[in-house]
Chains A and B, each alone.
Chain A
Amino acid sequence: MIGLGFVYAVGGAVFLAYAILSATDGGNPKRWGNAAFYALLAASFWLGDLLGDVGNGVLVLGLVVVAGFKLMGRGGRPTTSIEERREEAARRGNRIFLPALIIPAVALAGTLAFKRMPGLFDVRQVTLVGLTFGVLLALAACYAWVRPRAVTPLAEGTRLMDSVGWAAVLPQMLASLGAVFALAGVGGVVGGIASGIIPEGSRMGAVVVYALGMAGFTMIMGNAFAAFPVMFAGVGMPVLVGLWSGDPIKVAAIGMLAGFCGTLMTPMAANFNLVPAALLELKDQNAVIKAQVPTAIPLLLANILLLYFLAFA
């Protein structure tokens, strides 16, 4: 069956290519750090299920050492100049968009089609499988059309990967921190504190503590998934549903979205906030967060009002 195994096989191969191309990049003074980082990720994709839990933990420690001691740099491979690109863009016209559009088109078609083939595809992973097929087809189209040297797309990919660098694994690290927090019972303590500061007899007060707690804990954990079980168990269920007879479905649904407002405002949500800033080569690594705060704060207020007026109807 084609599922995550296939996706991870391709992922491992691409990261191994990034590792090899980093190791052979004489223009990067820290090439061994980059090579080690990408090689560890390739190992994670290919061997993660065989390493065992402690083995994976050691692998993560390796990534932390490489990134934490600043052993990664930017690749130095030459690419085309802006003048060459302008000239080629004018010559190739809008057809240059087609290979890029293959990826979403195939991901979309795959998502819809693979669902009907449960014998062949893992139906829970159809979008990721579709994305992977899209990438492979787009790559094939690029080879056929612009006829680069075999290694050039991967070298260009390494160049972009270097601009993301260690931030690439922060989301995975935070998911893991969430697991440790769960094991240690952090949620119970945070939920207890949150329910303790609710002003007595105030429904609005309870709604505000719940929504702000959801956004605030999401900002610390970088992910609303970690905050939701904590705030729902600590405040949502006992106070909003239990004490004020709120509808648990609405309290849950809108509460989660209050958490998403927190995601927009924190560097811990690296894949949404730091990675784009790195990919776009912005001068300020917090520029994306700064662009989002003016949307996130009014939206958080909107969620508080939605909770207050909808959840107790």
Chain B
Amino acid sequence: MLVLLGIAVVVVGFVLRFNPLLVVAGSALVTGLAAGLDPLSVLASFGKAFNDARYVSVVYIVLPVIGILERHGLQERARTAIAALKGATVGRLLIGYLILRQATAALGLTSIAGPAQTVRPLVAPMAEAAAEKQGAPPGEDRVPALAAATDNVGLFFGEDIFIAIGSILLMVGVLQGFGIEAEPLQLALWAIPTAVCAFAIHASRLCLLDRALAKARARQEGAGE
């Protein structure tokens, strides 16, 4: 039971708004000590896992490309392109992106889009431009946050349909530990119902946003007359 102190450290640390890196390091130390490990072997296992997980931080190499293009007007062009498009709404735009993200992730192409690669330079400014065209007030968190959320939903509930993704391989390994031989394809197949539900739920929220914006605008115009 004592090893659960580490979980308590995580929860309390977050509630008290300590720096998360400090919280995680503290939790590792507390957990290790509570389990009777010596501090040096906690440090070693922490360091080894950190080194093995370096690949998750590789994505920051795209920032120089995005940065230089932004300097020369990438986001502004993305806004103009959407503003000129007839019938473009924030809901339709993000549903389109959701389909694209889910489909490419399902093919194993998880790194071709993401918050740094596509959301900041393209999707978020386009979504904002569309929303402003529909009468949404500019400068709010809501629309760009929804663009990032759409990216996550598409990624999470697309990638598990791809058989070589980490989570599928993890499941194959865990099942093997119980003496169950599972084909990655079988596991991927049973990710499809959830993927369909994820699309249906998120896409209907996006449609509702379009409708809410239209209503707000109608009310405003009504009040103006």
Contacts and interface: CB of A to CB of B under 8 A. Distances in A.
B142 interface: yes
A11 B182 contact: no
A184 B49 contact: no
Interface string B185-201: 01111110110011001
Contacts of B102: none
A296 B1 CA distance: 30
Nearest to A159: B67
Contact of A291 (B19, B70, B146): B146
Interface residues of A, number: 142
Given A53-B48, A56-B50, A277-B145, A85 B76 contact: yes
Interface in A149-173: 152-161, 164, 166-173
Contacts, number: 428
B214 interface: no
B35 A256 contact: no
B53 A306 contact: no
A89 B111 CA distance: 27
A5 to B, nearest CB: 11
A103 B18 CA distance: 36
A100 B109 contact: no
Given A164-B60, A184-B31, A57 B44 contact: yes
Contact of A276 (B74, B108, B119, B153): B119
Contact of A180 (B31, B81, B194): B31
A282 interface: yes
Contacts of A248: 175, 178, 180, 182
A272 interface: yes
Helix, strand, loop or mixed for chain A's interface?
helix
Interface in B1-58: 1, 3-4, 6-7, 10-11, 14, 18-22, 24-25, 27-28, 31-32, 34-35, 37, 40-58
Bin the interface of chain B by size.
Answer: 35 or more
Interface of B: 1, 3-4, 6-7, 10-11, 14, 18-22, 24-25, 27-28, 31-32, 34-35, 37, 40-78, 80-81, 104, 108-113, 115-122, 124, 141-142, 144-149, 151-153, 155-157, 160, 166-167, 170-171, 174-175, 178, 180, 182, 186-191, 193-194, 197-198, 201-202, 205
27 contacts: A41-B57, A51-B47, A53-B45, A56-B51, A85-B76, A90-B80, A94-B81, A96-B73, A104-B113, A127-B110, A128-B58, A132-B61, A142-B65, A142-B69, A160-B120, A170-B21, A175-B50, A176-B50, A177-B10, A232-B174, A249-B180, A253-B160, A254-B194, A260-B160, A292-B149, A302-B201, A310-B190
**Nearest 4 CB-CB pairs, A to B?**
A156-B67, A57-B47, A56-B47, A89-B73
